[in-house]
Amino acid sequence: MHYISTRGSAPSLDFEGVTLAGLASDGGLYVPQEWPRFTEAEIAGLAGLPYAELAAKIMSPFVGNSLTPDELHELCATAYGRFAHAAVTPLKQFDEQQWLLELFHGPTLAFKDVALQMLGLLFETFLSRSDAHLTIVGATSGDTGSAAIDAVAGRDKIDIFMLHPKGRVSDVQRRQMTTVLAPNVHNIAIDGSFDDAQASVKRMFNDSDMASSKGGRFRIGAVNSINWARLMAQVVYYFAAALQLGAPQRKVAFSVPTGNFGDVFAGYVAAQMGLPIERLIVATNVNDILHRALADGDYSAGTVTPTAAPSMDIQVSSNFERLLFDCGGRDGRAMAEQMRSFEADKAMQLTNAQRTGAAGLFTSARADADDMAMAMRWANDAAGEIIDPHTAIGLFAARQSDVSADIPVVTLATAHPAKFVDAVERATGTRPSLPTRVGDLFAREERYDELAGDYESIASYVAERATESR
């Protein structure tokens, strides 16, 4: 399998190459040259497999020759063996139409673990084949940071630098990052938003002093969903859920609480592979750039409003570029032009092809604070389920959609409610407790540095601490 950049001028790479590269050297994102396609009979044959085996089957065409079948199986078994539920991503039922797919049974209590447990093992496997050292630089709105740190802490060929927006992540989220004291883990709180942090990260990939792909000193890697391997791992649970609900004979819709458009793009990939998905509902909070883009073609970033669902407080959704590229005729040169204009003006219009392409599968909805609290109360009243604020936004969008009554709608439960305990208590009166697997989080020592949000101070912080690599 070969991967090409959405902006058309970076070299095409194999799976090992894209996993280690993260962002393409032309500023674009890597996508497979073509979508692997499963026949209906092949999909039917996947029903009933244990999660790790299903994962290996789905990932196999994307991985190509970068891993042997045995290596891939073993990595999947190790990654998904760390989950606290035997089904890895169990399904629960609310009522005749509404379902919940729990993605938070990994070590750090959010769906990010599903991909990052795998990505940490992929990094280790690929780095062991040479003497390269990887410097991971990431931005987090809260959950990617803890999941990535858990996945790579203590690994000797990796340093991780994780930027989070100071004061805008929950106490549980922050402590899950800052109490990991392994010497290869570097937490940085910046003055600014997630979007500011992510912009600095992207800039570092294109900095000729820093990035080895540009002649600089460090091999910089990505754990954000700009890294293709993350999306690949997330495709698996769309198959797992749909198969349980009767696919391929029966269609299924998904409602996905969305920030950086990674999770829901994995659903789009599942559909391209042949999974019969009726619809993907993009659920946003008041930071609704994606809702506006899908409803009106207006992709324009406002300023970020902090909400009770901080992992969705995002205005620039990196992975949307992958969708626009695929729906817009896969024209890298045109995409590069369109993104240049977005980067200059913070606004752009979707083309007709992009709008019609997206409309074939996606609808969207925006939830404010009341909508979110109401959905949390409904889940509790209807099914005795305590759900987190992000999941509540997905459930709100699922319940107000007009998907036909005979098609199941699965809301992705992206985080454990105890990660956002104050918001959950405000809405429901119930204070969910942390699962025992997170241990004595509130007793542990924290370590992190604070930096102003400007690129230069971040780059020099990394340069002083990272290990050079060619």
Ligand X SMILES: *Cc1c(COP(=O)(O)O)cnc(C)c1O
Q: How far is CA 167 from the centre of its chain?
A: 22
Q: Contacting ligand X (CB under 6 A), which of 120, 165, 262, 332? A: 262
Please tell me whether residue 32 binds ligand X under the rule CB under 6 A.
no
Catalytic site residue from 57, 112, 157, 202: 112
Question: Minimum Å distance from CB 110 to ligand X?
Answer: 4
Question: Minimum Å distance from CB 111 to ligand X?
Answer: 6
**Sole window of 94-102, 162-170, 180-188, 258-266 interacting with ligand X (rule: CB under 6 A):** 258-266
Please tell me whether residue 258 binds ligand X under the rule CB under 6 A.
yes
> For this structure, is 112 an active site residue?
yes
| Closest CB to ligand X among residues 217, 416 | 416
Q: Contacting ligand X (CB under 6 A), which of 7, 112, 251, 399? A: 112
Residues 391-430 as b/e (b if ≥16 CB within 10 A, e otherwise) read: bbbbbbbbbebebeeeebbbbbbbbbbbbbbebbeebbee
Please tell me whether residue 323 binds ligand X under the rule CB under 6 A.
no
Please tell me whether residue 312 binds ligand X under the rule CB under 6 A.
yes
Residues 195-216 as b/e (b if ≥16 CB within 10 A, e otherwise) read: bbbbbbbbebbbbeebbbbeeb
Please tell me whether residue 257 binds ligand X under the rule CB under 6 A.
yes
Strand ranges for 210-320 from DSSP E: 220-221, 252-257, 277-284, 298-300
Question: Minimum Å distance from CB 263 to ligand X?
Answer: 4
For the segment 131-160, give every residue that binds ligand X (CB under 6 A): 143
What are residue 257's phi and psi, to 5 degrees?
A: -65, 125
Report the C-alpha gap between 269 and 266 in whole angstroms: 5
347-349 vs 298-300, strand pairing mode: antiparallel
- In the block, residue with structure tokens 């004061």: 167
Helical residues (DSSP H) of 13-111, grouped into ranges: 15-21, 40-44, 51-63, 69-81
| Closest CB to ligand X among residues 137, 211 | 137
- In the block, residue with structure tokens 């993907």: 280
Report the C-alpha gap between 230 and 233 in whole angstroms: 5
For the segment 73-92, give every residue that binds ligand X (CB under 6 A): none
Site string for ligand X, 374-403 (x = CB under 6 A): ----------------x-------------
Where on the chain is the footprint of ligand X (CB under 6 A)?
110, 112, 143, 225, 257-263, 311-312, 390, 414-415
Residues labelled catalytic: 112
